[in-house]
Amino acid sequence: SEEKLGRVRDRVRPFPDFPEPGVLFRDISPLLKDPVAFRTLIDLLEDHVRASFPKIDFIVGECLDSRGFLIGTPLAQRLGIGFVPVRKKGKLPGATDKTALCSLQAELEIQSDAVEPGQKVVIVDDLLATGGTMGAACELLKRLKAEILECLVIIELKALKGSEKLNSIPFYSLLQYD
């Protein structure tokens, strides 16, 4: 498992001073480009979800920029379950529930009929930083009365303490950086 984790970690590229000075951006593009490392990533996430949750209905891809979709859809496929998108306002057709993201001055939404009350979901994204976007996705799923089993990410930026903002929802990150 450490070897597999190392294969994934080796494909995360640091970019200093992006998108602004003082920020160290963790780029997953090399991970997505390497089919062996990407397969290893999905293997590790699948193993974690299967071991943790014997019954799950959906993977929810939380994203403003679709990176959660890149991880969530193959994971859902592997698990033999459906995938539900959470998107920026105006990107989903039909009736939706919306929530504001104060820090980004944006809104997230989910289709109102995406999940039924009591259905079990895991929310997936590539990164947890401040926790604002993940927290908003959790709020939307709670409104639909879904049972959120866990929030799952590839990378956690621990110094930003985003997991503390998830209001006791279980959280798992594959890689952690300060």
Summarised one tens digit per residue, pLDDT across range 28-66 is: 999 999 999 999 999 999 999 999 999 999 999 987 666
Residues 42, 85: Cα–Cα separation, whole Å? 18
Q: Which residues are catalytic?
A: 67, 107
| Higher local confidence (pLDDT), 121 or 102 | 121
Answer yes or no: is 45 within a domain: no
Residue 129 has pLDDT above 80, yes or no: yes
Domain enclosing residue 167, as ranges: 54-176
Q: What is the CATH number of the domain that holds 172?
A: 3.40.50.2020
Q: How do residues 131-171 score in pLDDT, each as one tens digit?
A: 988 999 999 999 999 999 999 999 999 999 999 989 889 99
Q: Which of 109, 45, 104 is nearest to 76 (CA)?
A: 45
Answer yes or no: is 118 within a domain: yes
Q: pTM above the 0.85 mark? A: yes
Considering its fold, how many domains does the chain have in total? Answer: 1
Answer yes or no: is 125 within a domain: yes
- Please name the amino acid found at residue 37: A
Answer yes or no: is 21 within a domain: no
Burial of 71 (0-12, 13-18, 19+ CB in 10 A): buried
**CB count in 10 Å sphere of residue 10:** 12
Q: How do residues 75-89 score in pLDDT, each as one tens digit?
A: 999 999 999 999 988
